[in-house]
Amino acid sequence: MLSTTAWIAPSVLALDRVAAATGSVATDIPVASGGATYITPPATIAEGTPGLDSNTNTWVFQEVGPFTLTAGLAVNRVSAGSGFTGNSNENATIPAGTQICSFYVHGDRLDDNGTLTGTMTFGNASIIGLIYRTAQLNSSTYLQAPGTTYFNAPMEVSDLMWLDLTPGANSLRWSMRFGPALDGIRVITNCCAP
């Protein structure tokens, strides 16, 4: 007879220990600051979700990883830059065979007016691509966190982002403008050796 015990995901620390023991790669969890908070993947990121609509916070969670791409992944940005908008697009592709981790930045202002800011910084992994436009968000839904219901919402023309890829400072900073809408950024990193 099959057991009906529910599967419980291991903690990040447990995954790191397994990766170290097997010589595989591990996920580098970002430090969220400046108005961003790191959370476990929520059940939904629908507009107005209690606890996720906020006039002060954006939310960061891991979607998948380590994950090996079976096809090229279209991304909107791969190079560092200051003050680029949700309208900019480098039309880059991360090649098939690349092992990645995917994180999602979600913003939803409670009053549907004003801005939300935040920063995420990786200590060991490198940010290798950003996805923040509708077409690329929709074509990368296979990276979505299992069990989370999404409502892909691109960054808008007036939204600003800053990507720092200098050694030791792989970070993304954002300023999302609302009125009303959701905003989202898919952040792609390489996976790091523990």
What tens digit of pLDDT does each residue of 10-61 get?
333 333 333 333 334 667 889 999 999 999 999 999 988 999 999 999 999 9
Residue burial 126-152, b: 16+ Cβ < 10 Å; e: rest: ebbbbbbbeebbeebeebbbeebebeb
Q: Which two tokens stand for residue 29?
A: 């969890």
Taking residues 168-185, report their average pLDDT. 88
Residue 57 belongs to a domain:
yes
- Does residue 155 sit within a domain? yes
- Which residue is listed with tokens 């529910």? 6
The number of domains in the chain is: 1
Query: Is residue 2 in a domain?
Result: no
Q: What is the pLDDT of the chain when averaged over all its residues?
A: 85
Q: Could you tell me if 27 and 15 are in contact, meaning their C-beta atoms sit under 8 angstroms apart?
A: yes
pTM: 0.84
pLDDT at residue number 25: 60
Structural domain including 52 reads: 12-190
Structural domain includes residue 172: yes
β 58-68/81-85 pair status: unpaired
1 found inside a domain = no
Residue 89 falls inside a structural domain: yes
Residue 116 scores a pLDDT above 90: yes
User: Does 7 score more than 60 pLDDT?
Assistant: no
Domain contains 4:
no
Whether residue 60 lies inside any domain: the answer is yes
